[in-house]
Chain A
Amino acid sequence: MTLNQALAVIKSRKESEGRIYYLACGFEPLHLATFLRAHLLERCAGGNLLVHHGVYGDLRGNVESAAQSPAIGSAVVLEWSDIDPRLGLRSSGGWSKEAKADILRSSLERYAHLETVIEKLGARMPVAIAPPSLLLPPIGNTIRAQSSALELELEQHLAAFLLKLSRLPGVRVVRPPAVATARLDAKMELLAGFPYTIPFADALAGSLAEVLCQPIPKKGLITDLDDTLWSGIVGEVEVEGVSWSQDHHTQAHGLYQQMLGHLASCGVLLAACSKNEISTVEAALARKDLFLDAASLFPIRANWGPKSVSVDKILKTWNISAGAVVFVDDNPMELEEVEGAHPGITCLRFPAKDAAEVWNLLGRLRDLFGKPVVMEEDSLRAASIRSSAHIQEMSADAASPDFLRTLGGTVTVDWRAGSDKRALELINKTNQFNLNGLRIAEGEWQRRLEDDHTVLGVASYQDKFGPLGKVAVLLGSQHGAEVRVSHWVMSCRAFSRRLEHHTLQALFEHSDASEIEFAFQATEKNQPLQEFFRAQQILPDAEGRHRILRAAFMERRGVLPHEVSNLTK
C-alpha cells in the first residue's frame, strides 16, 4: 500500500466515530499511524475505526495512557531509542566506554518498567508489540559485518524481554516484516522524529494489523494419502513401496507428515480421504516409520466413490462446517470436485514435485490454523469427536434422557470466568448453536466484563468418555428480575447431550431471574439454536422479542440427565 492509497482508504470513511485502537510508540507516529489505520480498516470488519496515539518521547507513558483509554486493541512499537535515547539518531549523549556500560545496565531497568506497564495493557486489550526494527547505531568496536559483544548483549536483553512478554496474557510479539526495502529514513527522523521509510512503515503497520486482527483459525484438515501424505500409489506399489524420506528423495512428504503431527498437537482435527481399499490404507498407516501418529487421523474414509461424498461424511462426523476446514490433495481435479460440492472449504494442492512450494504450503497451513494461544480445550477436541461418534454408535437414540443418564455426565457452570479467553474464543468461532452470530472483539469483551450488570456463564462438561472442556457460553446483563442474553453459543462437540437445557436452567438458578430475553437473530447457520427455540416455544412476541418465563421453561425443559455444579464468587 502506498501512502496515498492509505490516505484514500481513510478518506473513504466519512464517519467521525468508530472503534478505537491505540498506537503507543516513542517517536512521532506520522505515517505509521496512517498506515495502521488503513490496514486495520481493510482487515477488520465492523465499520469505522480510529487510531489514537500519545506524545513524542514517552513510550512508557503512552503505554500507560493506552491502558486507561477506551481502545479495544493496542500496537506498541519499540525502537532502540526507547530503551536508551543514546541508541537513537536524535540524541547527543555520547557513545563513550562509560556511556556504553551505562546503556547496558540501564536497559535492564527499562525493560522491567516496560514489562510492568505492558502487562497491565495486555490485561485490558490485545496488544501487538513490535521489537526494534532499526539497526543499532555504529557503537560496536567491530566492522559492520561482525557483531560486537555489546550489540549481542543488548540483543540478548531484548530477546529475554520479548520472551517474557510473549507469555503474558493478551500480549503478542510481532515478527518484524521481511522486506527488501530500507527501513531507516534518517532525514525524516532528524526532521520530524519519524524513523521509517514509507514502504517500511507500510510493511510494519501491515504486520501489526495482521497480528491484532487475526482471522478465525480453521478447525480441521482433510488430507489425501497417495502422493500427498506419502509418495506413491499404495494400491500399486504396496505398503513398503510408498515413501516419505530423504533417502528416497521424497522428504517433502515427510515434512508434510511432521506438519500434520504438529497441527494435531495444537488441537487441529485431522482426517484422511483416499480413493483406495480401506484395508490397504490401514496397513500403510500402521507403518512404524510414519512421522505422524496415525491415530490422530479420524475418521479415515477410503473408498472408490467421489471424494466430495467422503468429505461430506467427515464433516458430519466432526459436526463442523466446510468453511472451517482445509482439504489437501495433489490432484487438481479432486480439489475442484470437492470445492464445487462444499463451497467455503479451503482447497490446497500438495505440490509434491516442488520443494519450495511444499515449504510455502506448510507456511500457509501455519497461517490458516495459527492462533495466539493453544488452550486445554484444543487438546480435548479430537478425543471428544471420537467419543461423540462412539456415543452415536452405542445408541440409535443417543439423545434420549435414559441413554444420556448412563453417561454419568457432569455439567459445571462457572459464573466467575471473567478473564477466560476460551469463552471469547467460543463466541467468536461457533456458528451452529449461536444466538445471533454476533462476534466480539477482545477489547470490547474486556469492556463488557467491566460492566457490573454483566452476567457470564461458561459451561464445562465431562462424562465417562472423558472431558469435553468448556463447551458453552452465556453472556448477558441482569436488570432486576430480567436477564437479557446477548450471546449464547455451544460447541458442536456438545450437541445431543441436553447441555443447552442445563445451561439455561443454571442461568435461571444463578440469576434468580423470572424472565430471560434473548437477542436472537436467525443466521444461515444457526439452525440448531432455532430448533431449540422452537422446541422451547421461544418465539417472537407482539413486539418481536424472544423471551421465556421461568415457569414456562421449567415446564418444557423435560428431564435433565446430568449432575450440575455452579461455581460462583
Chain B
Amino acid sequence: MNDIETRVARCFSNVFPDLPPEELASASAASMAGWDSVAQVTLLSSLSEEFGFDFEIEDFEELVSYSLILEYLKKRFPDA
C-alpha cells in the first residue's frame, strides 16, 4: 500500500470497524448495509480531516465506494 491507500484504509477502519481488510477494495455503499448517509458524511469528514481539505457537496453524492474515493484522492494529491 502507498501512503494514500494506508491513510484511506485507516479512515475506513475507524468508520467501519467491522469491515475485514480483505473486503476493503470492494467496499461500497451499495454492498455494505452499514454505509448509510450518516456513515457517508462521517467517512468523508474523516478523510477531509486526514487529508486537510474540504469535499464539495456533490462529492458526498458521488464518492460512494472505496475505489472511487481512492481514485479521487490520487488525482487530488498526485505527489502523495
Contact = CB atoms under 8 A, between A and B. Distances in A.
Contact of A28 (B11, B13, B38): B38
B71 interface: no
Given A2-B49, A187-B57, A191-B57, A7 B41 contact: no
A198 interface: yes
Contacts of B78: none
Nearest to A7: B14
B72 interface: no
Contacts of B10: 4
Given A4-B14, A11-B17, A31 B42 contact: yes
B28 interface: no
Contacts of B60: 191-192
Interface string B4-23: 00000011011101000000
Contacts, number: 39
What is the interface of chain B mostly: helix, strand, loop, or mixed? helix
B21 to A, nearest CB: 14
A7 B15 contact: yes
Interface in B37-55: 37-38, 41-42, 45-46, 49-50, 54
B48 to A, nearest CB: 8
Interface string A185-229: 001100110100010000000000000000000000000000000
Interface of A: 2-4, 7-8, 10-11, 28, 30-31, 34, 187-188, 191-192, 194, 198
A27 B45 CA distance: 17
12 contacts: A2-B49, A3-B42, A4-B50, A7-B42, A11-B14, A30-B38, A30-B42, A187-B54, A188-B41, A191-B57, A191-B60, A198-B49
Contacts of A2: 49
A28 B45 CA distance: 15
Given A11-B13, A11-B17, A34-B42, 7 more contacts: A2-B49, A3-B49, A4-B50, A7-B15, A11-B14, A30-B41, A30-B42
A436 to B, nearest CB: 35
Nearest to A6: B14
Interface of B: 10-11, 13-15, 17, 37-38, 41-42, 45-46, 49-50, 54, 57, 60
Contacts of A194: 41
Contact of A4 (B17, B38, B46): B46
Contacts of A28: 38
Contacts of A192: 37, 41, 60
Contacts of B46: 3-4, 7
Contacts of A191: 41, 57, 60
Contacts of B54: 187
Nearest to A33: B38
B42 A4 contact: no
Q: Which of B15, B42, B45, B49 has the most CB of A within 10 A?
A: B45
Nearest to B61: A191
A8 B57 contact: no
Nearest to A31: B45
Contact of B14 (A8, A31, A187, A198): A8
Q: Which of B14, B37, B57 has the most CB of A within 10 A?
A: B14
B57 A198 contact: no
B49 to A, nearest CB: 5
A192 B57 CA distance: 10
A4 B12 CA distance: 10
A30 B43 CA distance: 11
B62 to A, nearest CB: 13
A11 B46 CA distance: 14
A198 to B, nearest CB: 7
Contacts of A10: 17
Nearest to A199: B49
Contacts of A3: 42, 45-46, 49
Contacts of B49: 2-4, 198
